[in-house]
């Protein structure tokens, strides 16, 4: 039994939830999101909220049960509050700038500038005195996390000098260099 999956999801005021078969749609003050539940999961809208239950007792149904409920909660959080990831750039001469509205230009130690396209539904802001703080925000948790991970992947923090792009508050295990 899934401890997470058993709990019904309460829909707050200001959010309208629509369940049609396997498709769940949420509409709130920040926008509209939808999620298609797996075939092994039965989703129902009740007076207490939205309940998620497995259709049978297979291993796949049990493993999808908690995940489906968590995705419904993420829809509600997205249309009410939204999601944000903050990245920090560390390194001499490393900086970021917005190039238009849908491209992020990174100068991170390569011989060329890295231009990252920003997908629809995600907003990117560059701040800081040296343009070293990147804020990725939006209503879709998966998309915001993926864009932040893609930006970080261009130059992950290295352990010797600590240069690179890291999440805010991320600890980078530092190593000692060569000794003579």
Region 125-152: mean pLDDT is 94
What pLDDT, on the 0 to 100 scale, is given for residue 115? 96
- The CA distance from 124 to 70, in Å, is 26
Q: List, for residues 24-78, the tens digit of each pLDDT value.
A: 999 999 999 999 999 999 999 998 899 999 999 899 999 999 999 999 999 999 9
For residue 1, pLDDT over 70 is answered with no
Query: Which of the four pLDDT bands, split at 50, 70 and 90, describes residue 129?
Result: confident
Integer Cα distance of 124 and 152 in angstroms: 14
Please work out, in degrees rounded to the nearest 5, the angle formed at the alpha carbon of residue 148 by the alpha carbons of 142 and 150: 100
Residue-range domains of the chain with CATH:
3-80 (3.90.930.12), 83-167 (3.90.930.12)
Question: Residue for token digits 């040296």?
Answer: 130
Cα angle: 168, vertex 141, 63; to 5 degrees: 115
pLDDT of residue 139: 95
Q: CA-based angle 164:103:128, to the nearest 5?
A: 50
């Amino acid at each position: 039994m899934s401890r997470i999956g058993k709990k019904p999801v309460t829909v707050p005021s200001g959010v309208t939830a629509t369940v049609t078969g396997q498709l769940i749609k949420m509409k709130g003050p920040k926008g509209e999101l939808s999620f298609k539940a797996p075939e092994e999961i039965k989703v129902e809208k009740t007076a207490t909220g939205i309940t998620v239950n497995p259709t049978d007792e297979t291993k796949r149904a049990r493993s999808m049960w908690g995940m489906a409920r968590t995705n419904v909660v993420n829809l509600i959080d997205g249309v009410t509050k939204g999601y944000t990831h903050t990245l920090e750039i560390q390194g001499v001469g490393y900086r970021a700038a917005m190039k238009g509205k849908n491209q992020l230009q990174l100068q991170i130690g390569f011989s060329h500038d890295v231009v990252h396209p920003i997908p629809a539904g995600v907003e990117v802001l560059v701040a800081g005195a040296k343009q070293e703080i990147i804020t990725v925000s939006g209503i879709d948790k998966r998309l915001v996390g993926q864009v932040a991970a893609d930006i970080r992947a261009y130059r992950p923090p290295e352990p010797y000098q600590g240069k690179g792009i890291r999440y805010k508050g991320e600890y980078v295990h530092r190593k000692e260099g060569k000794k003579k």
